[in-house]
């Protein structure tokens, strides 16, 4: 099985400085799913976007926001406000909640930049993680996956801590993935990785596991991982029993699909 390469921040900077001229203007599509965000999310997203653009002044960044059937805090007024703050934003306003995997695929399907980064609407790992993942694509990676260390697990509520540890064990020993932390909400890929992403079918949270498995099994793809840490003040929600049951069946579907 293909073993992805893990790079540290310093490794990445060295490679970027010696192998890639990041002064050349590039295009990046940033795909962000959104469902029932908290109040004030528009201004926070605009702030994060501007900070990211300042970090990457030579890169044309287009935000693709996918509203996945939100029932609160996403109104036409919110979307108009976002459009005013980020004129180049592409908004996909899907009226029915179909799941995070479905929403991200909608965004990836309309993307046309040579490089894509998918992250959560609150940029839980900071804008620097987006830049780091993007630079790995410029260095020749086809797929880049963020992995969270023990620091992330320590921050979780008790129930989610158990779920995360069980999920990592299942990824490692049942799916036999070289990357046991597949659920980090940061993935990046080029057009070759995009084909594998659009071939996924899971609509729920385990679309990440399905994608990583497909990418690692494709020996023609260069898959790398990068360490990421949570930004201060991140809030974690609890999973409902119905969600856990649905994702269990999704996991079994991945497992039996050889």
Domains of the chain: 5-256 (3.90.550.10)
* DSSP 8-state symbol, 96: S
68-77, 83-92, 135-144, 150-159: segment of lowest average pLDDT: 150-159
Question: CA 36, CA 57: separation in Å to the nearest integer?
Answer: 31
DSSP 172-220: HHTS--S-S----SEEEEEHHHHHHHHT----STTHHHHHHHHHHH-TT
Q: What is the pTM for the complete model shown? A: 0.84
26-30, 72-76, 162-166: segment of lowest average pLDDT: 162-166
pLDDT at 155 over 90: no
pLDDT at 258 over 60: no
The pLDDT tens digits for 226-243 are 999 888 766 666 667 777
In the prediction, which pLDDT does 4 show?
A: 55
Q: Which of 99, 87, 80, 128 is nearest to 34 (CA)?
A: 99
Please name the residues in contact with 173: beta carbons below 8 A apart, sequence gap of 6 or more.
none
pLDDT at 256 over 60: yes
Q: Report whether 154 contacts 234 (CB < 8 A).
A: no
- Average pLDDT of every residue of the chain: 87
Residue 252 has which token pair?
Answer: 């079994």
Q: Report whether 30 contacts 61 (CB < 8 A).
A: yes
Phi/psi for 96 (5° steps) reads -120, 135
3-state class (DSSP) for residue 21? coil
As a whole number, mean pLDDT of residues 128-157 equals 90
In the prediction, which pLDDT does 143 show?
A: 98
The pLDDT tens digits for 132-144 are 999 999 999 999 9
pLDDT at 209 over 70: yes
Angle at 143 between CA 140 and CA 149, to 5 degrees: 115
Distances (CA, A) of 142 to 20, 158, 193: 15, 35, 5
112-116, 138-142, 177-181: segment of lowest average pLDDT: 177-181
2-16, 74-88, 130-144, 200-214: segment of lowest average pLDDT: 2-16
pLDDT at 220 over 70: yes
In the prediction, which pLDDT does 163 show?
A: 83
pLDDT at 129 over 50: yes
1-10, 26-35, 60-69, 83-92: segment of lowest average pLDDT: 1-10
Maximum alpha-carbon separation in the chain: 49
């Amino acid at each position: 099985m293909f073993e992805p390469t893990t790079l540290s921040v310093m490794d990445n900077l060295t490679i970027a400085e010696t192998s890639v001229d990041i002064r050349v203007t590039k295009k990046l599509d940033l795909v962000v799913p959104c469902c029932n965000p908290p109040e004030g999310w528009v201004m926070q997203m605009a702030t994060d976007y501007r900070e990211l653009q300042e970090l990457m002044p030579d890169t044309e960044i287009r935000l693709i926001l996918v509203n996945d059937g939100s029932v609160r805090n996403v109104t036409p007024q919110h979307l108009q406000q976002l459009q005013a703050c980020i004129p180049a934003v592409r908004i996909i306003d899907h009226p029915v909640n179909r799941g995070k995997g479905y929403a991200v695929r909608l965004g990836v399907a309309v993307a046309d930049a040579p490089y894509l980064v998918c992250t959560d609407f609150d940029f839980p790992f900071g804008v620097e993680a987006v830049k780091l993942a993007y630079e790995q694509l410029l260095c020749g990676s086809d797929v880049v996956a963020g992995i969270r260390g023990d620091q992330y697990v320590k921050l979780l509520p008790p129930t989610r801590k158990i779920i995360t540890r069980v999920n990592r064990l299942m990824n490692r020993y049942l799916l036999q993935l070289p990357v046991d932390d597949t659920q980090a909400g940061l993935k990046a890929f080029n057009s070759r990785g995009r084909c594998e992403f659009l071939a996924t079918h899971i609509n729920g949270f385990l679309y990440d596991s399905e994608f990583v498995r497909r990418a690692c099994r494709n020996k023609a793809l260069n898959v790398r991982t990068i360490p990421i840490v949570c930004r201060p003040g991140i809030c974690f929600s609890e999973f409902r029993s119905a969600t856990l049951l649905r994702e269990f069946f999704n996991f079994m579907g991945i497992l039996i699909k050889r």
